[in-house]
């Protein structure tokens, strides 16, 4: 019998359950179906990016623990593409099937305070922070950390109202309201040189692979462009990979995890946050690497050996946000005329501003050329 603590590999033909139903689950499902697996997805939504590709789409709130258990009972392993599911959901799933990565990994990484406490305890570099649970504590924390600073909700699940940049003491009240007057973290503002990430995978036996340092550029707090390899000194990339290795090991991750970093102007690495799943900055691996981050997640959670991560050529990825639809449907025919740029669309029907609708990936002989090719195609989409 294969109980849910079983170390028996989950073989092709088996069903894999995905909690969450966005584009990460969609690309996971594509990778899984390519290898002959079946995919079930559960989320509160219908006609979802993942559901459109999956074999079974279950529509239930994450709080419906009976539905979650039924869902888990119908698959050989449960993974997730959305880490903000309640702890009780992961626990309910774990009673009925193995959950990988474990609910403990979710618990730590879905809450900024727990995540930063883990990083402190493990001796890993991160932005300085203070816990804030009242307006008075905010004033004290700001005095200790200095301004500017960023106030962020401790849990990630607070619709878009999660962050506020504080310039001076006049901003305290507005900031406190902006985070919903709830437990938060005040972070020192980092005047960074660059942002990078490392996407890595780890097996149940501790085998670790990574996709190198990826360079990330944000716009309005949303990832805009990723470039791989990152244009940073070799030593910085090496250190970032080593930090990622320690994070996956200490959290005992079985699956994929992304570590996001700030590179300071004096060349130090500070962890910004952890995402215990494939990450937007790793989307280029779908086209640019022998084994994508999604197939790696599949292999890790199914207890198969990991695949080769060789990157064929330097790559650049650019997100396509809902704003592109402001003047009607983008021009896909012209975009498709850039024959060497891959167009990915997630099947979302409502293009709200800031919503991730798809992305473009370009491969070239240099990262700079890939970036230029991607940007040219993205302009043509308008
Ligand atoms: P987060 O959702 O916390 O990853 O923040 C999104 C983006 O906001 C980051 O990728 C940075 O570009 C910016 N940001 C967040 N925290 C800080 C900080 N402490 N200092 C400077 N920029 C930040």
What are the tens digits of pLDDT across the range 141-200? Answer: 999 999 999 999 998 754 455 789 999 999 999 999 999 999 999 999 999 999 999 999
Q: Is 215 in the pocket of ligand 1 (CB under 6 A)?
A: no
Q: Is 190 in the pocket of ligand 1 (CB under 6 A)?
A: yes
Q: Which of 132, 215, 221, 261 to mutate to test the pocket of ligand 1 (most atoms within 8 A of CB)?
A: 221
> What is this structure's pTM?
0.96
Q: How far apart are CA 346 and CA 50, in angstroms?
A: 8
CA 186 – ligand 1 centroid, Å:
12
CA 189 – ligand 1 centroid, Å:
8
- CA-to-CA separations, 49 to 42, 308, 342, in angstroms, rounded: 12, 27, 18
Q: What is the pLDDT of residue 83?
A: 83
Q: How far apart are CA 303 and CA 161, in angstroms?
A: 38
CA 272 – ligand 1 centroid, Å:
7
Residues 272/274/279/281 CA torsion (nearest 10 deg): 20
CA 156 – ligand 1 centroid, Å:
13
Please give the number of the atom of ligand 1 that sits closest to the Cα of 149: 19
Q: Which of 217, 272, 281 to mutate to test the pocket of ligand 1 (most atoms within 8 A of CB)?
A: 272
Place of tokens 């995919």: 39
What are the tens digits of pLDDT across the range 301-333? Answer: 999 999 999 999 999 999 999 999 998 999 999
What are the tens digits of pLDDT across the range 78-98? Answer: 999 988 888 899 999 999 999
- CA-nearest of 294, 234, 241 to 30 is 294
Q: Is 115 in the pocket of ligand 1 (CB under 6 A)?
A: no
pLDDT at 120 over 70: yes
Q: Is 189 in the pocket of ligand 1 (CB under 6 A)?
A: yes
**Tokens encoding 111:** 């809450």
Half-sphere exposure of 30 (CA within 13 A, CB side): 16
**Secondary structure tally for the chain: helices H, strands E:** 12, 16
Render the burial of 187-214: b for 16+ CB within 10 Å, e for the rest: bbbbebebbbbbbbbbbbeeeebbbbbb
Q: How confident is residue 382, by pLDDT bands cut at 50, 70 and 90?
A: confident
Q: How confident is residue 286, by pLDDT bands cut at 50, 70 and 90?
A: very high
Q: What is the pLDDT of residue 159?
A: 47
CA 78 – ligand 1 centroid, Å:
30
In order, the DSSP letters of 284-300 are THHHHBSS-HHHHHHHH
Q: Is 325 in the pocket of ligand 1 (CB under 6 A)?
A: no
Please give the number of the atom of ligand 1 that sits closest to the Cα of 162: 2
Nearest-CA residue for atom 9 of ligand 1: 221
Q: What is the pLDDT of residue 1?
A: 39
Q: Is 150 in the pocket of ligand 1 (CB under 6 A)?
A: yes
What are the tens digits of pLDDT across the range 198-251? Answer: 999 999 999 999 999 999 999 988 999 999 999 999 999 999 999 999 999 999
Q: Is 57 in the pocket of ligand 1 (CB under 6 A)?
A: no
Q: Are 116 and 186 in contact (CB under 8 A)?
A: no
Q: Which H or E run includes 55?
A: none
Strands (E), 53-162: 56-59, 77-80, 129-132, 149-153
- CA-to-CA separations, 158 to 62, 78, 90, 353, in angstroms, rounded: 15, 25, 19, 18
In order, the DSSP letters of 311-344 are BSS-EEEEEEEGGGGTTSS--HHHHHTSTTEEEE
CA 152 – ligand 1 centroid, Å:
10
CA 168 – ligand 1 centroid, Å:
18
Q: Taking all residues of the chain, what is their mean pLDDT, rounded to a whole number?
A: 95
CA 97 – ligand 1 centroid, Å:
35
Q: Which of 150, 274, 275 to mutate to test the pocket of ligand 1 (most atoms within 8 A of CB)?
A: 150
Q: Is 127 in the pocket of ligand 1 (CB under 6 A)?
A: yes
């Amino acid at each position: 019998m294969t109980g849910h603590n079983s170390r028996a590999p989950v073989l092709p033909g088996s069903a894999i359950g995905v909690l969450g139903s966005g584009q990460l689950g969609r690309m996971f499902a594509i990778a899984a179906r390519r290898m002959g697996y079946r995919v079930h997805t559960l989320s509160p939504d219908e006609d979802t990016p993942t559901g459109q590709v999956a074999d079974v789409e279950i529509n239930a709130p994450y709080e419906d623990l009976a539905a979650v258990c039924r869902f888990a009972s119908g698959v050989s392993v449960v993974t997730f593409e959305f880490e903000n599911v309640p702890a009780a959901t992961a626990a309910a799933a774990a009673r009925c099937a193995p959950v990988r990565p474990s609910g403990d990994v979710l618990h730590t990484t879905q809450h900024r305070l727990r995540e930063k406490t883990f990083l402190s305890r493990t001796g890993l570099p991160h932005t300085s922070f203070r816990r804030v649970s009242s307006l008075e504590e905010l004033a004290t924390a700001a005095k200790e950390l200095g301004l500017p600073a960023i106030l962020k909700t401790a849990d990630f699940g607070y619709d878009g109202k999660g962050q506020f940049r504080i310039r001076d003491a006049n901003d305290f009240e507005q900031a406190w309201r902006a985070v919903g007057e709830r437990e938060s973290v005040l972070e020192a503002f980092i005047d960074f040189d660059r942002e990078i990430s490392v996407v890595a995978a780890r097996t149940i036996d501790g085998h670790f692979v990574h996709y190198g340092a990826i360079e990330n550029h944000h716009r309005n707090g949303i990832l805009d462009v990723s470039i791989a390899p990152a244009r940073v000194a070799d030593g910085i990339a090496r250190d970032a990979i080593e930090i990622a290795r320690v994070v996956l090991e200490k959290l005992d991750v079985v699956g994929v995890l992304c570590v996001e970093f700030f590179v300071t102007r004096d060349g130090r690495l500070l962890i910004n946050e952890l995402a215990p799943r494939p990450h937007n900055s790793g989307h280029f691996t779908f086209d640019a690497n022998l084994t994508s981050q999604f197939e790696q997640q599949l292999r890790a959670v199914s207890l198969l050996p990991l695949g080769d991560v060789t990157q064929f050529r330097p790559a650049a990825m650019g997100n396509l946000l809902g704003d592109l639809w402001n003047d009607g449907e983008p021009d896909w025919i012209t975009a498709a005329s850039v024959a060497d740029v891959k167009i990915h669309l997630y099947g979302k029907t409502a293009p709200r501003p800031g919503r991730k609708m798809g992305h473009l990936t370009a491969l070239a002989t240099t990262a700079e050329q890939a970036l230029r090719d991607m940007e040219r195609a993205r302009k043509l989409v308008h």
